[in-house]
Amino acid sequence: MTNAETAAHLRQYVHTMHSQWSWPTDGCGYEQHIKFVAYRNAYWRGGMPETFVQFVLDYAERLDHEADQ
């Protein structure tokens, strides 16, 4: 998936039901998944589930800006 496609997927992900074991980037392909995991490992400091939702949405914004370059 492209950055723009992944950003759209992430925005949909936070508004749909899914398993507690799923990753936001499930279905986005290996490269996008690893890119998200690296970002999460570098910047996620824990918190409540709604905080993670905002974290995912912020990451989607970041992908949109990367897609524009």
**In whole angstroms, how far apart are CA 40 and each of 7, 33, 69?**
15, 10, 22
Residue ranges making up the domain that contains 59: 3-16+24-68
Q: How many domains does the chain have?
A: 1
Instruction: Tell me the whole-structure pTM to 2 decimals.
Output: 0.88
- Mean pLDDT for all residues in the chain: 92
Banded model confidence at residue 4, pLDDT cuts 50, 70, 90: very high
State the pLDDT at residue 17.
87
